[in-house]
Chains A and B, each alone.
Chain A
Amino acid sequence: MSAATYTKPLPKIDERTKPHWEGNAVHELRVQRCDDCGTTRFPASRWCAHCLSEKTSWQKVSGKGKVWSWCVFHRAYFKGFESDVPYAVALVELDEGPKMYSNLVGIPRDQIKIGMRVRAVFDKVTDDVTLVKFEEDK
């Protein structure tokens, strides 16, 4: 699908965030890792909040984690989500530490549980953007 017909919000991809999106495109979940203190972080930021170093690399992570919490939107704040409501948003805690908001794939809302194991799957939504979502990791 082209960005012209995709109506949901698209990420702002710039030099700093690009490595994450390039990873998604090849089905690798990548987060930042501080070259000095080793702290992993996401979303992208210039400075490591742990040691204030600017030296950073993007690292492939397992894509595995667990549902930290979640909610269900019954109201669409974005026009592109109007036909999706009610839809769930989960906060996933990756095994490597960082947490990320995302959507769950193939898990009915009444079966979402905090602590359930999930793994990354990739959803190419436009020619340029692949989102990372999560399915149950049985």
Chain B
Amino acid sequence: MSQTSPDAAARGATATAHSADTIILDVRNTSKSFGGLRAVDNCSFTVTRGSITGLIGPNGAGKSTAANLITGFIRADAGQIMFDGKDIAHLPPYRVALRGLTRTFQITRELERMTVTENMMAAPHDQLGESFWLGLLGLPAVRKQENEYLQRALQLLRDFDLYDLRDEYAGNLSGGQRRLLELARVVMAQPKLLLLDEPFAGINPVLASRLSDYIEQMCREKGITFLIIEHNLAMVERLCHTVIVMALGRTIAEGTMAELRQNAAVVDAYLGES
């Protein structure tokens, strides 16, 4: 595998001055069992603000459960999940999203019988018109906001090369286009932290490379922190400076890919297995 890209290294360097507010996400001793299985077992890790952090581990390591715990789709049995200084472990998913922590799903999920533009327009959180009365009355303030969001949506669609598909039903898009739309949609929601669950699974290398460019661009230009769960280690190495390794529900190591490759526990749990 190649060396960590200079871009990622630079980002890591600026983020090394650790202090409380450079940590955007702090998972503390979190556990979750399903029946007798401890899917996430006293797991702790942190994500640095402004970073692109990877979360890797063999199948069954508890990564997806961790993602569901962080985003509120599953409630933790124990532990804290501090996001932006506040415990979000007991919030329902929509409240977590409103705090600025948004996610994508392992299998892309679209609002299929809504157009690409509508998928984008559904994303912003503070829409006045989503209140029943304001929406019904369609006051000038609502229309103005709607217009602004439409312009932002179209701009983002252009950035993601989906502009020509704006009036297409999301359900008619190809797999790759769905990935792009899903990313564009969560970016539209203007999150502080974006959790991507296997964004590179099942897409061709060309698109994967483009997707990773978008992720770096969104991190740089919009200041979004990324936490990426991924099996494609080449992509992880290319994108992420810090990588967290999970195995059997726990974090077993953290560092750059280069460091991790020297780590016996990691090699044992994961990298050595192939």
**A joins B in a complex:** no
